[in-house]
Structure 1
Amino acid sequence: MKSYPKKNLLVVMLCVLCLFSEDIYAQKEDTKAVSASEVSTIIDSITSIVNRYYIDPEIGDQITTRIRTKHKNGAYQQLTQPQVLADTLKNDLRAINNDLHMSMVYRAPRERATTNTAPIQVSETGLWTNYGLSEINVLDGNVGYLKIKHFTRHQYLENIKPIVTSAIESLKNTEALIVDVRDNGGGFEDMVAYYISYFFDSKAPIHLSDYRCTLHDHTYGISTDPNVTGTKLPDIKLYVLVNANTGSAAESFAYMLKHLGRATIIGEVTAGAGNGASVHPVNDRFSVQVSSEETINAITKTSFEQVGVIPHIKVNSQLAFDEGYRLALTYLKEHNRQNIHPSNYDTLLQFITTPEKTPAIDEALYKKYIGTYKGGGITITITLENNVLYGQPKSKGGKMRLTPLEAHIFKVGEIKERVQFTLDPNGNVIQLIGLDSPMELTKVE
């Protein structure tokens, strides 16, 4: 695995959208208003830091000129609440070119714990969240699923390596893999490279990306590690789920795999936060985050900054999983290496919602479904909550969500059962029948 030069380590480890916080200090209430002199100090610091570190000096000058002009005109004079000031300055740092790595961060002063019994401030990027690897699953049809919430921090790289290895080992017998980085705000680029290393079997490192630091006019890169331990999955069919909240290093993960031709990207256009960033303290409660490195992908020679990662298949975030799962099952049915009878895949595909088949929610129609249905000793009550239908048997079990598949046809909870409401010629709902069971119930209320 490639190591970063020490002078770049601070920059790289902070390439994340300020979504995580971690320390050993206890939070204390901050009631101190921001004074006029503190505002002036903050503005002076922002000007100095942005002009020194921002990747594009011309844009950096426009950003600081805007903020200085607003300060001169008294725009920040009444902003005495620390968080309000920070939020306003964050918006002003991004106003010129919507660079999402530009930010003003406020943290209330902290005091070091003095006793062993003091509450510990948990790490949202460490063991508290399993270093971002939040779900490992094998779906019906032998499709693997990995949910990565974030790409942790540089200090946890060695901690997470055996965890990633174990996760890949647990999925080595699957025939397709869905990696979900929806709502993943980013993290450490070396962590991204480590994950990607498992999807190639090259004997030499594969160059993934370069990062150019404007201040030092220095460029360094990251590559795959051909010597990762455990099983590699170079031939597994790979799908990556993204959405508008996929940012920074999580975008790198999708972008690299897309342009290496290794994965199908599914979901929404991502955030477009492609620059590397560094955080600089202003005082004990404010710091400014500045885009200080330009990302240059090894294949495209550019990045996803301001553009985002464009999915191969664009679907709403809520439908991305179903679309990925449907594509995986369809692929496995068509490339049937295990000689599985195709009907097995067809059965699973029947229970997956698709954008073209799923009808829009019709509240008026849904209200017609509400009621009690009886037959053959079975009683089921259909209710509607927040435009979601639920079915609840009288004899046993709790209510189960009904997910629309086609007109009048719904999937029951997470079980392999479908039900269909039937209507008379006048549009009145009269029956609830099972499509995968002999259930036939008549609406009585």
Structure 2
Amino acid sequence: MTGFSRLLPALLMATAPLAVLPVVAAEEAAPAPAVDANAVAETYAALLERDYVYPDTGRRYAAAIRAAIAAGRYAPLTGAALGTAIDADVSAVSPDGHLRVRAPDNAAPAPGGAAPVKRPPRVPVEQAGWIAPGIAFVRFNVFPNDPAVTATAAKFMADHADARAIIFDIRTHGGGGMDQMDVIFPWLFAKETRLVTMATRASVDAQGGSPIDGIPSMRKVAGAAGMVTREHWAMPNGDARLRDARIYVLTSGATASAAEHFSLAMKHTGRGVLIGDPTAGANHFGRGEELGGGFTGFIPVGRTYDPATGQDWEGVGVLPDIAVPPADALVRALTELGVDAAEAKRLSDAHMPSAPMERRKGRVRAPAR
């Protein structure tokens, strides 16, 4: 999802004891190894051909990349320019909201492009608490694979179990996994409820590479040939206090991947009302892979979809129930709950996200474990 991405983490260098080293003349120092652009591209092509969620599209991606290799287009490129060129060739075959080749952090920007801006890590949870009498509010910016964040989400639900309404603000939510969802959903449903369906390439599942295998809320079911299909279920926790609470979900064009999974689950089941803009349209879930030379690529290996229609949201997003500009979504939710318009505007201003509320290429996190 998701779909639902974490690229391989950087290794931390341990501090070594001080040692006396021999002096080496500058001319004797070994030069840094050059990146073989064609090898990076071929590794990506092979992975897409083997594992991409749609086998035929994966083969077409691989053919386009190999044609560019044969034409010599990649060989002179380095850094971000190489990643940009490969991305362009792949997108020309079939756009995918998760596909991206990422250059090493210290790589030069593409010609004409700005140097990458290093942003601080996004805070997963913000402004959790009571926003008005009987109304709880929480903003999730990401669903990380982090037990501490999962515990925070669980505590928020328990601490606000007497709410008459909960507003989930996911207008700046870039994606992630399912851990936090699986401590939220048990509070909201009176009976076991099928939320969404997720299908993974059978070849990936057979390798033990499915990012959703082994999750307790997932149930394997019969599905399309060549795919392993699982359904995501909400499992009630036995506490009925929030079963009738009104649920609002605030969305924008920056609501991506796992956040779209959350949105579709609320919309498909009728449990929550979506307010804002259509979501980003980045459906496919998968995993990060090393491509060599410090380059990494995200390989979408599955898709998440509405079990009633079989439709996913790739390229189109999950549509809101109430369409308003994202900046006005909280005002609308609060007035729907009976808060005076002037007070709703004041509260909205005080709870406005600081991150952009529109889709930014390459900012999607897909479910991965």
Asked whether the two chains share a fold, i.e. TM above 0.5, the reply is yes
Q: What's the counterpart of residue 364 of structure 1?
A: none
Over the matched positions of the two proteins, sequence identity in percent amounts to 20
Q: What's the counterpart of residue 56 of structure 2?
A: 58
Q: What's the counterpart of residue 140 of structure 2?
A: 148
Q: What's the counterpart of residue 245 of structure 1?
A: 254
Structure 1 residue 136, shift from structure 2 partner: 0.8
Letter in 2 for 1:143: I
Q: What's the counterpart of residue 40 of structure 1?
A: 38
Structure 1 residue 177, shift from structure 2 partner: 1.5
Q: What's the counterpart of residue 164 of structure 1?
A: 153
Q: Are 1:69 and 2:67 matched, yes or no?
A: yes
Q: What's the counterpart of residue 334 of structure 1?
A: none
Structure 1 residue 239, shift from structure 2 partner: 0.6
- State the superposition RMSD in angstroms: 3.1
- Asked if 2 retains the 8 angstrom alpha-carbon contact of 1:278 and 1:292, the reply is yes
Q: What's the counterpart of residue 302 of structure 1?
A: 311
Map 1:115-154 → 2, pairs under 5 A: 124=121, 129=123, 132-153=124-145
Structure 1 residue 22, shift from structure 2 partner: 4.8
- Asked if 2 retains the 8 angstrom alpha-carbon contact of 1:23 and 1:123, the reply is no
Q: What's the counterpart of residue 255 of structure 1?
A: 264
Letter in 2 for 1:244: G
**Could you tell me which of 85, 88, 98 is aligned with 2:85?**
88
Structure 1 residue 59, shift from structure 2 partner: 1.4
Q: Residues 291 and 351 (structure 1 numbering): CA distance in 2 closer, same or farther, change over 3 Å?
A: same
Give, in whole Å, the separation in 1 of the partners of 2:8 and 2:37: 24
Q: Are 1:270 and 2:279 matched, yes or no?
A: yes
**Could you tell me which of 218, 222, 225 is aligned with 2:228?**
218
- Asked if 2 retains the 8 angstrom alpha-carbon contact of 1:22 and 1:124, the reply is no
| Structure with higher strand content | 1
The residue matched to 2:298 in structure 1 has which SS?
Answer: strand
Structure 1 residue 188, shift from structure 2 partner: 0.7
Structure 1 residue 278, shift from structure 2 partner: 1.9
Give, in whole Å, the separation in 1 of the partners of 2:81 and 2:180: 34
Q: What's the counterpart of residue 208 of structure 1?
A: 195
Q: What's the counterpart of residue 198 of structure 1?
A: 187
Q: Residues 210 and 316 (structure 1 numbering): CA distance in 2 closer, same or farther, change over 3 Å?
A: same
Task: Give me the TM-score of the superposition, normalised by structure 2.
Answer: 0.72
Give, in whole Å, the separation in 2 of the partners of 1:32 and 1:248: 37
- Asked if 2 retains the 8 angstrom alpha-carbon contact of 1:135 and 1:145, the reply is yes
Structure 1 residue 150, shift from structure 2 partner: 0.8
Q: Residues 136 and 21 (structure 1 numbering): CA distance in 2 closer, same or farther, change over 3 Å?
A: farther
Show structure 1 runs of 5+ residues with no match.
1-11, 110-121, 330-344, 354-402, 404-410, 415-445
Structure 1 residue 141, shift from structure 2 partner: 4.1
Q: Residues 349 and 192 (structure 1 numbering): CA distance in 2 closer, same or farther, change over 3 Å?
A: same
The residue matched to 1:25 in structure 2 has which SS?
Answer: coil
**Could you tell me which of 314, 324, 327 is aligned with 1:315?**
324
Letter in 2 for 1:324: A
Give the structure, 1 or 2, with the largest relative contact order (CA under 8 Å, sep 6 or more). Answer: 2
Structure 1 residue 60, shift from structure 2 partner: 1.6
Q: Which runs of 4+ in 1 moved over 6 A?
A: none
Q: What's the counterpart of residue 386 of structure 1?
A: none
Q: Are 1:104 and 2:101 matched, yes or no?
A: yes
Q: Residues 192 and 64 (structure 1 numbering): CA distance in 2 closer, same or farther, change over 3 Å?
A: same
- Asked if 2 retains the 8 angstrom alpha-carbon contact of 1:280 and 1:288, the reply is yes
Give, in whole Å, the separation in 1 of the partners of 2:197 and 2:4: 17
Structure 1 residue 232, shift from structure 2 partner: 4.9
**Could you tell me which of 253, 272, 291 is aligned with 2:300?**
291
The residue matched to 1:183 in structure 2 has which SS?
Answer: coil
Q: Residues 124 and 39 (structure 1 numbering): CA distance in 2 closer, same or farther, change over 3 Å?
A: same
Give, in whole Å, the separation in 1 of the partners of 2:176 and 2:336: 28
Structure 1 residues 243-275: Cα deviation after superposition (integer angstroms, max 9, x where no partner): 001110000101110110011101111111111
- Asked if 1 retains the 8 angstrom alpha-carbon contact of 2:279 and 2:319, the reply is yes
- Asked if 2 retains the 8 angstrom alpha-carbon contact of 1:194 and 1:224, the reply is no
